[in-house]
Structure 1
Amino acid sequence: MNKIVISVNDFQKRAAIIEDDKVVEIFNERNDESNIIKNIYKGKVANVLPGMESAFVDIGLEKNSFLFIDDLREFEEKYLNGLVNSNKTIEELLTVGDKVVVQVLNVPRGNKGARVTTNFTIPGKYLVLMPNNDHLAISKKIKDEEERKRLEEIFLKIKPSKMGVIIRTAAEGKTIERFEKEINYLVKKWEEIEKKISKAKDGEILYNDNDIVTTILRDILNDTIDEVIVDNEKVYLEIIDYLNTFNENNIKAKIKLYLKDKDIFDEYNINIEIKNALEKEVWLDCGGYLVIEKTEALVSIDVNTGKNTGSYNLERTVLNTNLEAAREIPRQLRLRNLSGIIIIDFIDMKLEEDKELVLQQLGAELGRDRIKNNIVHFTDLGLVEMTRKRVGRHLSYFYEEECPLCKGKGKIKSSETIVKELLKELKEISLDKDIQKIYVKTKKEVLKIIREVYIDFINEYMKNKNKQIIFEEEEIFEYEISLEK
């Protein structure tokens, strides 16, 4: 059974997609830079970089956004003083201080600011409006040639002049009346944005596309969803109104208001899934397991047989483990929202037909993903290379923060290292003639080393310096020193 669960309170909005009774996607809404994809801003050019054919644009965020020249060209004629679309260089098109309207393509990541474009898109349920592009495109997921031809004929008639349209997968089989209503709605939105441009201040948001309830209704809710359960009456009524606006009466009956006192994410075991998705290891039903690690450059996934010793021969055990991993990996990618370059180290397989079976399984499961992905191939080292488009933040961004001690390394100082640093600091402190007592708090493991190896030396040293030292056990990462004169 497929469900959408929406949780809304005064502090946050969250949602989860459940497919075949398994959580596959989590949405979190925050008022920060994690939630700016598709937002349109009025910006100011902060710097032009001829050598990189790009410009930095200040849109009011912590880091300036990055505008490539190829993301600017189709904007020239309409919005840059009537210049004709050309092969002009970035410094011929923009100078420091120029005002430019941009839309966010990618959120800030690491030391990089958001990537932006001037090729705007305003998404609807059945189509995406491109206000400064006269192109007509149809989703590749619509395979039927007759349907593609029907949709093309419809939109060539109703497409706004000098505007482009991308026909979305959800448009398949729908009537012209629905498309006309949505086109009018989206064109009106764009006209409202244009009215704001001249009056807006630098860094002002002209269009916000990131309410998760709207996103779910527009991008996810379809005939394959059996239920939408929401725990907030106001949002429940807003959803009903939205569906009434677009005559989605067939879907309206699926919307349910959750009235229990128990947290809705606990009721549907979503919080447990989130907790598990923050772990590196993922256990498979067969007894094998995955190790998923994210780095700045890529995501690595290692497949292991674990407890799966099999009941047949080695090749069958390996194949079965890899097939189950190929089913689980796409779910984990969606659940954790992992993207970019992904390297999968399946257990070594000798037979080419086994490798092909695993790739087929992986491809079939990835086909259920809303986000664009691509399997490249098995490398000579037996690794599967694939990519997944970056959309928003990964799950751990919303639930974890970097450890202040290891700073993301996953390692902290050894007890022996802490002892050496402590001895060095004690030596420096002992030079102060006014200090009489030194109190040291540290963890059990450090104290054990001090008492077994260094205590006689420390006591003798402090005695010679006329100091008293007192050690106390406390569960802290390293140590704390306090002084008494």
Structure 2
Amino acid sequence: MKQIVINIDRFQTRGAILEDGKVVEVFIEREGEGTINGNIYKGKVANVLPGMESAFVNMGLEKNGFLYVNDLREFEEKYLDGIENSNRPIEEILNVGDEVVVQVLNEPRGNKGARVTTHFTIPGKYLVLMPNNDHIAISKKIRNERERKRLEDIFAEIKPEGMGAIIRTASEGRSMYHFEREIQYLVKKWEEIERKIKRAKIGEILYRDNSVITKILRDVFSNDVDELIVNNEEVYWETIDYINAFSENNLKTKIKLYREKEDIFDVYNINKQIENALSETVWLDCGGYLVIEKTEALISIDVNTGKNTGSVNLEETVVNTNIEAAIEIARQLRLRNLSGIIIIDFIDMRLDEDKQRVLEALEGALSKDRIKNNIIHFTDLGLIEMTRKRTGNPLSYYYQEKCPMCKGTGIVKSSLNIIEEIVKEVKEFIDEKDISKIKVLTTKELKNKFIETYFDFIREYLKRRKKELVIEEDKNLEKNQYTILLGK
């Protein structure tokens, strides 16, 4: 059973996709903090980098956007000099201060600004309009050649001159009526954007890629969904109106309004599953477990047998654990919205046919993922390499922040190291003639450790220089914190 649960309160809108009771995707939009993916901005060139074939664009955001020269070609052709298939270097196309309209491809991450492009796309439920690209592309998930030809013929007939379209998977089996209605809507959207370009100020948003609710209805809600439950009556009726305008009327019967007072995410066990998804360790039903760790460069996933001792033989136990892990890994990637380079270290298998079984299980589970992914077969080291397209923020972005003590490393200084820092700092005041008393305030743990290791030595050391050392516990200090007070 496939369900969509939407939870709306005064602070945020959250949506979750459940497959047989398990959460596989989460959508979050907080008040005043929407995603900027897909937004179109009017920007100004802040810097041109010939050596990197790119430019930085000021869009009024905290960090400048990053524009590759190949992502500039359509804008160059239509709005700058009209040269088709240009291969001019970026320094001949843009100068600092030039105005340019860009669309966000990837959200800002860490110290990096947003990746932007001028290959504009305006998405709908059945197609994505490419207003500056006269090309038709069809989703690879539509495999029937006859259906692909039918869709291509329809769009060749109805698409506006000079514009192109990406035909989405949801188009399969649909009639020309659906497409004509939507393409008119998307063309109108683009015409509104073009009217805004000249009068817009730098940093102004020319197009916003809709809310979480619209994205769910456009990209997820379809005939394979059994029900959509929403806890807000106003949004319930807006959803009905959207279905009336863009989708089949039979979908309306699947939309349900939740009226109870209890948190809808608690009722469907979503909050608990999100909490578990924030942990590095994921337990499998068989007793094995995954360890998922994120670094700046990649995501590493380690598979372990754990408590699974099996009932047949070691090889079969390993293969069964790896197959269950492969299915769970695909779910965790979607649930946590992990992206970029992903390295999976399955438990070692001797036989190539066993590796193939695990690989097929992973591919099958990932086929449900809406986000583009690419699996590279087992490497010589027995690892699976894969990539997953970056789209939006990872789940951890909304629920976690770096620890102020360890700064995200997961490791803090040892007690002994902190004590050595205290001793070093105390010694700096030895030659100060107007200081006769040094008081160290710290936690009970550090105080006891200090007395056990250095206190007698450093007290005598200071006494010979006519200075007094006192160490006291301060219950207001957190772990590894200390304060040094100086007196005459």
> What TM-score do the two structures reach when normalised by structure 1?
0.96
Instruction: State the 1:429 CA deviation.
Output: 4.3
- Given candidates 466, 477, 480, the residue that maps to 1:478 is 480
- Note if contact 2:12-2:31 (Cα within 8 Å) is conserved in structure 1: no
Pairs within 5 Å for 1:223-302: 223-302=223-302
Shift of 1:171: 0.6
Taking the aligned partners of 1:241 and 1:436, their CA distance within structure 2 comes to 78
SS at structure 2 position matched to 1:253: helix
Q: Matches of 2:435 and 2:270 in 1, distance apart?
A: 56
Deviation at 1:442, TM superposition (A): 2.7
Q: Which residue of 2 aligns with 1:415?
A: 415
Name the stretch that deviates more: 446-455 or 206-215: 446-455
Q: How far off is 1:22 after superposition? A: 0.4
Which letter does structure 1 place at the counterpart of 2:472? F
Q: Please state if 1:86 is matched with 2:86.
A: yes
Q: Deviation digits for residues 309-350 of structure 1, max 9, x if unmatched?
A: 111111011011101101100000001111111110000000
How much does 1:198 deviate? 0.6
Q: Which residue of 2 aligns with 1:467?
A: 468
Q: How big is the shift at 1:435?
A: 5.1
1:11-22 aligned at under 5 Å gives the runs 11-22=11-22
Shift of 1:480: 2.3
Q: CA offset at residue 285 of structure 1?
A: 0.6
Query: CA distance change for structure 1 residues 392 and 377 in 2, over 3 Å: closer, same or farther?
Result: same
Please show how residues 24-423 of structure 1 align to structure 2 within 5 Å.
24-30=24-30, 35-423=35-423
The range that moved more, 445-454 or 284-293, is 445-454
Q: What is the RMSD of the two structures over their aligned residues, measured on CA atoms?
A: 1.8
Q: Secondary structure at the match of 1:396?
A: helix
> Higher mean Cα deviation, 313-322 or 48-57?
48-57
- The 3-state SS of whatever aligns with 1:441 is strand
Once the two structures are TM-superposed, the CA of residue 434 in structure 1 deviates from its matched residue by: 4.9
Does 2:488 match 1:456?
no
- Report the Cα offset of residue 422 of structure 1: 1.2
Q: For the residues of structure 2 that align with 1:242 and 1:174, how far apart are their CA atoms?
A: 18
State the 1:153 CA deviation. Answer: 1.4
Contact kept? 2:443, 2:482, Cα under 8 Å? no
Question: 2:429, 2:331 → 1: CA distance?
Answer: 55
**Letter of the 2:52 counterpart:** M
> Contact between 2:53 and 2:68, CA under 8 Å: does it hold in 1?
yes
SS at match of 1:95: coil
Point out where structure 2 has 5 or more consecutive residues left out of the alignment: none
TM-superposition CA deviations, 1:264-290 (whole Å, max 9, x none): 211111111111111111011111100
The aligned length equals 485
State the Cα deviation string for residues 58-93 of structure 1 (Å, max 9, x = none). Answer: 111121111111111122221114344422221221
Structure 2 residue identity aligned to 1:326: A
C-alpha separation in 1, matches of 2:341 and 2:455: 52
What TM-score results when the alignment is normalised by the length of structure 2? Answer: 0.95
Q: Secondary structure at the match of 1:198?
A: helix
Larger mean Cα displacement after TM superposition, 67-76 or 33-42: 33-42
Query: What SS does the aligned partner of 1:18 have?
Result: strand
SS in 2 for 1:146: helix
Task: Pick closer, same or farther for the CA change 1:416–1:484 going to 2, 3 Å.
Answer: closer
Go from structure 1 to structure 2 and tell me whether the alpha carbon gap of 1:257 and 1:446 turns closer, same or farther (over 3 Å shift). same
1:37 touches 1:210 (CA, 8 Å); kept in 2? Answer: no
The corresponding residue for 1:441 is: 441
User: 1:435, 1:467 within 8 Å by CA — same for their partners in 2?
Assistant: no
Residues of 1 paired with 2:138 and 2:339: CA distance?
24
Query: What do the CA deviations read for 1:385-407 (whole angstroms, capped 9, x no partner)?
Result: 11111111111111111122222
5+ long unaligned stretches in structure 1: none
SS in 1 for 2:428: helix
